[in-house]
């Protein structure tokens, strides 16, 4: 019996050594050299009334500044009490894209607004965002700026909103409002975006801190599901992340991250990520069907 116990113990030890548990260590993504990122700059808009990509005096479409060409310092780093802080000027539309592809992760960061605003959003709420599951080339959406992806919106009055980019799609439990928008409701039927651009889902509450204060945002992504968290509050639970190509549904469950520059000055710090081996139990409950007989709502027709 003693020998059998020893053999079993060695087998268990061997199995543990050959299949180590996934690391839960946070990896910092921000440093003074932006070594884990690349920049892509599109345009600085010159009019509030946008009809398409900006043009010069002769009506010819402008060419985006492109990859790693940031002469106007849209993305700059500084130290605040020894901590790296990213300033996004917002003057030019563009993004800071990760060099790595991420799948099954917990992303955490801090963000606050600056004072500067730019055309075409001088009178609109300050706006930026985190794109995730980014694939393909830059410049396929929003005035030749961003790639196909999902968005965790960062906007005044709506931190944590969802927005589809370049025809991405997700399912969400939401109520349709009279104006055609949707508001997240964990007890509502699933609603599916048609992926025609412009689909969004809004928060049931505003959990943003007063202007000038830091906000903590978290994005939990596992498989085809994601959770948006603002200052500790779950504001959005989304599932079935995908896009449609040639009439076929294609899963969209991994890709690059991107920090937007979108006509408003914003600051980011303490951007960190860690891998997940499952959707955490505390958040898995958001994907349980409230009523087994509940059906998916008809596809949106906005």
Domain coordinates in residue numbering, the chain: 24-47+62-287
**Contact criterion met (CB below 8 Å) for 141 and 148:** yes
Residues 242, 252: contact at Cβ < 8 Å? yes
Q: What is the mean pLDDT of the chain?
A: 84
For the cut 60, the answer to whether the pLDDT of residue 300 exceeds it is no
Percent of the chain's residues with pLDDT above 90: 61
Helices (H), the chain: 2-18, 281-284
| Lowest mean pLDDT across 97-101, 168-172, 226-230 | 168-172
Residue 44's pLDDT band, with cuts at 50, 70 and 90, is: confident
Asked whether the predicted pLDDT for residue 15 surpasses 80, the reply is: no
**Residue-level pLDDT at 298:** 46
Does the pLDDT value for residue 85 go beyond 70?
yes
Helix (H) or strand (E) holding 94: strand 94-98
Nearest CA-CA partner of 80 in 262, 269, 229: 269
Summarize the confidence of residues 156-175 as an average pLDDT: 90
Is residue 113 scored above 80 in pLDDT? Answer: yes
**pLDDT attached to residue 292:** 45
CATH number of the domain at 24-47+62-287, out of 2.60.120.560, 2.40.50.100, 3.60.21.10, 3.10.450.50?
2.60.120.560
pLDDT band at 182 (very low <50, low <70, confident <90, very high): confident
* Torsion of Cα atoms, 64 then 65 then 67 then 72, to 10°: -140
């Amino acid at each position: 019996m003693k020998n059998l116990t020893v053999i079993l113990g060695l087998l268990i030890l061997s199995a543990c050594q050959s299949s180590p548990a996934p690391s839960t260590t946070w990896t910092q993504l921000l440093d003074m050299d932006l070594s884990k990122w690349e920049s892509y700059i599109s345009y600085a808009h010159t009019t509030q009334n946008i009809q398409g990509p900006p043009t010069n005096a002769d009506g010819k479409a402008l060419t985006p500044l492109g990859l790693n060409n940031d002469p106007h310092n849209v993305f700059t780093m500084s130290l605040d009490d020894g901590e790296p802080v990213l300033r996004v000027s917002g003057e030019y539309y563009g993004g800071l894209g990760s060099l790595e592809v991420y799948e099954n992760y917990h992303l955490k960061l801090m963000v606050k607004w600056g004072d500067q605003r730019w055309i075409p959003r001088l009178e609109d709420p300050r706006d930026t965002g985190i794109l995730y599951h980014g694939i393909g080339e830059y410049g396929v959406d929003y005035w030749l700026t961003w790639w196909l992806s999902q968005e965790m919106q960062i906007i005044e009055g709506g931190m944590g909103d969802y927005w589809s980019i370049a025809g991405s799609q997700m399912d969400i439990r939401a109520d349709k409002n009279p104006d055609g928008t949707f508001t997240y409701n964990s007890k509502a039927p699933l609603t599916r975006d048609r992926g025609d651009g412009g689909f969004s889902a809004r928060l049931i509450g505003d959990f943003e801190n007063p202007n000038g204060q830091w906000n903590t945002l978290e994005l939990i992504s596992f498989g085809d599901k994601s959770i948006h968290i603002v200052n500790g509050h779950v504001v959005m639970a989304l599932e079935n992340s995908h896009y449609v190509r040639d009439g076929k549904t294609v899963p969209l469950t991994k890709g690059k991250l991107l920090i937007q520059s979108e006509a408003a000055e914003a600051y980011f710090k303490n951007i960190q990520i860690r891998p997940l081996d499952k959707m955490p139990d505390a958040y898995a409950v958001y994907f349980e069907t409230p009523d087994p007989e509940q059906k998916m709502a008809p596809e949106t027709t906005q």
